[in-house]
Structure 1
Amino acid sequence: MDKSIILHISDIHCSLGRLRDILASLPIKPLILAATGDFECEKAAVAVLEWSKRECVTLLAVTGNLDHAGVRRVLHSSGVLIDGRLVRVGGLVFAGVGGMDPRTSREMLLRSIESSRLPIDVLLTHHPPHGILDTTFAGVRAGLHDLKTLVDMHKPRAHLFGHIHESPGIEVVGDTVFVNPGPAYEGRYALVKIFNGFVEAELHTA
């Protein structure tokens, strides 16, 4: 039986104050914290790590396009970075595509899927897939076609991402629930509940 409550945050952009607001205002304790990139500074990555350890919450993270080698090093050395990797947490399989080098990360992930033959339950990426919760202020669809193809091929139950600050929302396409929580630097986050294959998501602002 797979059952999980996931706190999904993205795009902290080094706003430690708003991050603390989110973590202090949660209406329910999550089992997993999914951080989908753009920490933008090592202090933000460390703050998320320390909170997850203190609260005994499993942390899974991918990098964002504005993250640098120092952020990646902090996440990788702590064993929470899943760029290009598959990780099983409880009864769920999580997959990650990082935003620092999404093409290479996606290719690594595809090799992992091929060798393991595991189904993906939850996909974490920084960028959105093309055409879903990816519209910029200029009206441009800025999601990645490669991610749309990945989702179409492997049909995760949930796809969690950020990057496009102005397109927060929840969208269901086929069997996949797509969630862009909006930027954490504005106090935005999502809670995603998965129970026996059913996915329910809520957007919140601290």
Structure 2
Amino acid sequence: MRTLLITDIHGDTDKLEKIIEKEDFEAILCAGDLSDAREFDDYEGKLDEVLDLFDKKDKLVKAVPGNMDPEEACVKALRERRINLHRKIGSFDGFEAVGHGGGITPFGTPFEPSGEEIKNAVETLSERMKADTRLAVIHQPPANSELDIADGEHVGSPEVRELLEDSEFDLVLTGHIHESRGRDKFNGTVAVNPGPVLEGYYAVAEIGDGIAVEMKQL
């Protein structure tokens, strides 16, 4: 199943639309920061613009909120569109995905769950997954990895790293740290930050007997 992997849109509908129009895909997974409560006075209006673009291609979409998405407002909108993956399991053709949004910062952003909260919720949900191929969508990246470096410092979650090291996920989509676009591996679990849509970055995963991920940009 050809799946578009995106994160950190921050309300940039122009770049999101270009990516959606450029690529052929069957599904979308989004790791959060769809709109941006610090950037837009009308957070929910900009969120609706983003979600309207998801609807445009009539494909299967699942998303979690990021740290700049107020949890209650964002999850309500995702539920109304039947695309919420936050603290949920989503079923796709040939795989399942589990998700958790939010991310830790020093800035007091709208949605900052603890690493322990993320780990416990995803572990509990993953025990209910039945598919042979399992993905996770977690906005907060794992600590001390290629995916959590901001201003030269590792700023990810130790608990999320423990989760990935102990999990049986085939692929984890993360984001949050814009400058840490890349991949890492944790005891067989591959994690990918495709880079922020805000800067024209994304990835495409071919998910079948195996998983092949191509990092792309506009």
**Under a length normalisation based on structure 2, what TM-score does the superposition of the two structures give?**
0.82
Q: Offset of 1:6 from its aligned partner?
A: 1.2
- Stretches of 4+ moved more than 4 A in 1? none
Match of 2:108 in 1: none
Instruction: Give, as a single letter, the amino acid of the residue that structure 1 aligns with 2:78.
Output: L
CA distance in 1: counterparts of 2:126 and 2:181, whole angstroms: 29
Q: Distance in 2 between matches of 1:148 and 1:97?
A: 14
- State the percentage of identical aligned residues: 25
Q: CA deviation at 1:176?
A: 1.9
Q: CA deviation at 1:181?
A: 0.9
Take 1:23 and 1:55, find their aligned partners in 2: how far apart are those partners? 8
Name the SS of the counterpart of 1:42 in structure 2: helix
Aligned residue type for 1:56 = D
RMSD: 2.1
Counterpart for residue 202 of structure 1 = 214
Equivalent in 62, 71, 77 of residue 74 of structure 1: 77
Question: In the alignment, what sits opposite 1:94?
Answer: 97
| Structure 2: distance between partners of 1:174 and 1:105 | 19
What is the aligned counterpart of 1:176 among 180, 186, 189? 189
Paired amino acid for 1:76: R
C-alpha displacement of 1:150? 1.3
Residue 6 of structure 2 is aligned to residue 9 of structure 1: yes
Contact kept? 1:133, 1:180, Cα under 8 Å:
no
Which secondary structure state, in structure 1, belongs to the residue aligned with residue 154 of structure 2? coil
* 2:151 corresponds to 1:151: no
Letter in 2 for 1:63: P
In 1: Cα distance, 2:180 partner to 2:76 partner: 29
Provide structure 1 residue ranges, at least 5 long, that are not aligned to the other structure.
Answer: none
Query: How much does 1:44 deviate?
Result: 4.7
CA distance in 2, matches of 1:48, 1:42: 10
User: Residue 43 and residue 23 in structure 1: after superposition, are their counterparts in 2 closer, same or farther (change >3 A)?
Assistant: farther
TM-score by length of 1: 0.86
Per-residue deviation, 1:19 = 1.4
Out of 160, 178, 192, the residue aligned to residue 165 of structure 1 is 178
Could you say if the C-alpha distance between residues 113 and 177 of structure 1 is closer, same or farther in structure 2, counting changes exceeding 3 Å? closer
1:60 maps to what in 2?
62
Moved more, 42-51 or 92-101: 42-51
